[in-house]
Structures are given as structure tokens and as C-alpha cells.
Amino acid sequence: MKIKLILVLSILVLAIAALIFLLSQQIITGETISEETVKDKYSYTKAICDETHCQDYEIVCEGNKTVKKSPITGLVPHEPNWQDPREESIIQKEC
């Protein structure tokens, strides 16, 4: 009888501890990521060219600030008199 009582109380204590743990995890997760943080971060790809080469970059933004530019391809050569066919607004686009 004594063993059954100890077993039941142990299971009850473990169940309550697990419930508290699971509820606290939801609260922490919900507070960690706010919508404001998520909507201000984004990235896009863009070819950046000079007189002789182009290279694709991943541009990472936070709001209207460029946080990181990472090359995602090697240099691609083009002809010396090459004209970029993209509109100037696309070429100059920033975050």
C-alpha cells in the first residue's frame, strides 16, 4: 500500500513538473521572436558589375540598412564595351 502511494505521488509530481516545463517553453518561444523583428529582416540577390566583370551577391537587410553582402558566384567577365541592360533603379537598388 505504501509503495502504491509513493508511486502515485511520484507520477503526479512528474506530471506537474512536465506541465510547468511545457507551458514555460511556449511563453519563452512566443516572447523571443517578435513580428517587428521578423518583418524588418530580408535578403535578395543582385548582380554587381564594374567595367570588366559581374558577380552575384546576396544582400541582407535590416530595415533600410545593408547588414551583409556575400558573393554567391565567381566573377563573370564581359566585353569591354558591354552595357548593362537593367534599368538604373535596379542597378542602384539598396535596402
Task: For residue 12, give the 3-state DSSP assignment.
Answer: helix
Q: In which domain, by residue range, is 6 found?
A: 2-32
Residues 84 and 53 in one domain: yes
Task: For residue 73, give the 3-state DSSP assignment.
Answer: coil
Residues 56 and 73 in one domain: yes
Residues 25 and 56 in one domain: no
What's the pLDDT tens digit per position in 15-64? 776 666 666 665 555 555 555 556 688 999 999 999 999 999 999 999 88
Residues 25 and 57 in one domain: no
Domain count, the chain: 2
| 87 pLDDT above the threshold of 60 | yes
Look at residue 92 in the predicted model and tell me its pLDDT: 93
Residues 13 and 45 in one domain: no
Residues 23 and 8 in one domain: yes
| 82 pLDDT above the threshold of 80 | yes
Nearest to 93 by CA among 55, 48, 63, 54: 48
Residue whose C-alpha cell is 523583428: 37
Look at residue 23 in the predicted model and tell me its pLDDT: 65
Residues 23 and 54 in one domain: no
